Structure 1
Amino acid sequence: MHIPFVDLKAQYLSIKTEIDEAIAQVLEDTSFVGGTLVKQFEEAFASYIGTKHCIACANGTDSIEILLQAMGIGAGDEIVVPAVSWISTSEAVSTVGATPVFVDIEPEFYTIDPIKIEAKLTSKTKAIIPVHLYGQPANMPAIMEIAQKHDLKVLEDCAQAHGASIEGKNVGIWGDCASFSFYPGKNLGAYGDAGAMVTNAPALAEKARRIANHGQLLKHDHQIEGRNSRLDTLQATILSTKLKYLNKWTAARIHNAHRYSELLDNSSVIVPKIRTNAQHVFHLYVIRSTQRDQLNDYLKSKGIATGIHYPTALPFLPCYQSQNNTVDHFPVAAQYQNEILSLPMYAELAEEQVTFITNTIHKLY
């Protein structure tokens, strides 16, 4: 049996008629940038998340950078970020001229550890970027309490957490603003790069929209200098079509994750835990094993594709060596980078595939 890590073809085939018709209409109209379809997606996604404003942009990395710029963050500022995430989180901070300050992760949930944040705050700290890693909500109540205490902005990185929630409140509406990625493999994915920013603050929304479109709201109305970061119409209509299925796909992911955890119970691997009063949407299903590399090789030899998210924690990457970070500074991230392994996870994953994967793991141990 060959089991891919992600099966985008299966998802496409499940809604092929609708997708094909949506794309055909864009081609027929020959309207490829801006316009009604982009606005419709922005309104639909804002409604889904529960925010007043959604500003579509070219990709998830741009969305973080633009929001930081819109909040006035730049040279000399420090931004708190988790030690484990995709590099876009910290890279965006550096791109706007600020400095990423890394904080270790919670041992059970892999998201930024609120207990360790305050020790990293200085007079230069301007914001916190919690990442809802793998689809697990960060501890937003605790993070917001710290932010309010120290008058800090909060930008949620929701790139892996479309539809996740904590205490019944969607991620993306806890902080001042939030960033989303619609990279094809995401829970809500486009057929190319795409991203969005959401906020309830009208002034922040307007500035972010200006920055993303050359500093203008109307053509030639350049109040500030901006950049070119637009969502094209093809991606907008694809995302609008797929958004209608997101809750169904999320339920299937959660079901598959629960089956994984049930079938791996009492095995030699550590399965993911779910935060109390939270909905983990399982963008990734990440296990841990002290024999990770052996397990990874064994699964691949049996036709099971896997991933490692992420093999090197952010503080230990060569691009941050000037910070002189050591494993003693980030003990949890340092340990887990050698143990984590992502198993295949998508809504279309069949019961027999989950069973085959878990049986294969049991056979090795």
Structure 2
Amino acid sequence: MATNGGIVIVGGGLAAARTAEQLRRAEYTGPITIVSDEQHLPYDRPPLSKEVLRNPEHDVVLKPQEFYDERNITLRLGAAAQSVDTAAKVLTLADGSALEYDELVIATGLAPKRIPSFPDLEGIRVLRSIGESAALREHAATARRAVIIGAGFIGCEVAASLRQLGVDVVIVEPQPTPLASVLGEQIGALVTRLHEAEGVDVRCGVGVASVAGTGKVEKVVLSDGTELDADVVVVGIGSYPVTGWLEGSGIAVDNGVVCDDAGRTSAEHVWAIGDVASWRSEVGHQVRVEHWSNVAEQARVLVPAILGQEPGSAAISVPYFWSDQYDVKIQCLGEPAADDVVHIVEDDGRKFLAYYERDGVVTAVVGGGMPGRVMKARGKIAAGAPIADVLPASS
């Protein structure tokens, strides 16, 4: 492999840092450059709606500056990627500078969706960066009433964090329950119970018609005509892959950067990893996985492919993700679907454990505050075991 331009990685999160780290572990000695549109060292994003929001001292930096210096990894911070010429193998940055590359790795992750019809009012927030989390925390210090639009994982985590900071919180969600599209309505009802026990007003089956205020947000009007007073509004309605800068590059994009099963894109010498990447699955489908644990698994395949090395034997992977809400860690192991049959096998009024069944087979386990019980099911889920193998005898 030529090493004139070396390997350029675009992104400032876990996928970028892990790729650079794995390249050096694989004894790649050429130049590595990480390009990020943020001024911060690459950092972990999941805590932004949790620990970072509640505690300004919480550190999410993945590796200190010394790590990059010792491994001769160049950081170009505050330098957004603007375009890429795949024929010339040149990446152009927003400041007009250009970087040649031998191999380009796209690790730009996701950006939060916004509501275009909302006016530009102070106090309307989304959450993706350290800066946005800090701004929301500062606002929460004086706010009395918050409205969270969207009851996905981010919305629920922000609601929990703001409630712990003493803010009155209303969650507004068009679906029947929080997390209904991900975990189904039965588990969504248990999540509703958890928030209501903490004093959150959970309003489902209703949307937001408008927001209003003079200079700053003061009121949220729901689709049923209800008016809610609000000092701060957090929009948590999902996210989308950051691929706009690839327009005109010829790199195939379809709900993320389209890749093969090793992260190769449609352009030679261009790869993608993490939340932005849609990899081809074992059965030939394109799948874009937004789970933190997925990055390490992809890096173990991507890096050897870039370097032309034999990949290690892949372990059977069972998807895993979690969400911290109050004192309850909600964990999911496997691939639940909202229309799976759900067996709730434990429920003490706050903590719970449930198995998901599809065609007689266990597809996932979801637990709230039961980490040991969740992780014990990994082997059964990987094996596609009959649901009877995991249910208690009395179920």
- Calculate the TM-score normalised by the size of structure 1: 0.31
- Higher helix proportion (structure 1 or 2): 1
Q: TM-score under structure 2 normalisation? A: 0.29
Greater strand share, structure number: 2
